[in-house]
Amino acid sequence: MTESTVAADAATPALPTTLEGFLASVERRAFRFAELGLRHRDDALDAVQDAMIKMLGYRERPPSEWTPLFWTVLRSRIIDVQRRRTFRLSWLSDARAPDGEEIDWADAGPDPARHHDGREAWGRLAEALRQLPRRQREAFSLRVLEEFDVETTARIMGCGEGSVKTHLFRAREALQTHLEEFR
């Protein structure tokens, strides 16, 4: 093996070989994605858990298919929960307003000021993302936060690559406008 091959292998994270390992590697990112889409911690936890349980049925699929399959399943679950909310009576649940429950993000950093700034920045970004239309929020989360390529994002969202690029462009413009004062 050459030095460049060894360096490339070291830079590329290996795909988990077991479904349990794969699910453990995506659980936190999946929760953040679901929470941004559902705006409610408990609903997000339920959606991620449901998606993970559904993935057990795909255990025999090759590991290379698990990533787009999982994110497609999770996205579908989030949409199901959102649709169900629209049909509930308003006295049972008001889905239009988040419950204000704060995410408990652990930070190992010793600097409290930096910790506060990071929480404030994440809070502003999360709030700005919540105000985006669903498709723009999904495109931004999958492309930027999850770092999926355009093809995989299109597959997860069930649309064309051009649509992903359009939604991402519009999301970035809206976020830049919304977060301009935070700079």
Which tens digits make up the pLDDT trace of 137-176? 999 989 988 889 999 999 999 999 999 999 999 999 998 8
Please tell me the pTM assigned to this model.
0.56
Same domain, 77 and 26: yes
Residue 54 lies in a domain: yes
Listed range (5-9, 40-44, 111-115) with the worst mean pLDDT: 5-9
Whether 126 is covered by a domain: the verdict is yes
54-106 pLDDT, tens digit each: 999 999 999 999 999 999 999 999 988 888 877 664 444 443 445 555 444 44
pLDDT band at 120 (very low <50, low <70, confident <90, very high): confident
Q: Which two tokens stand for residue 118?
A: 């990071």
Same domain for 135 and 79? no
Structurally, how many domains does the chain consist of?
Answer: 2
Predicted confidence at residue 12, as pLDDT, reads 47
Residue 97 in domain: no
34 occurs within a structural domain: yes
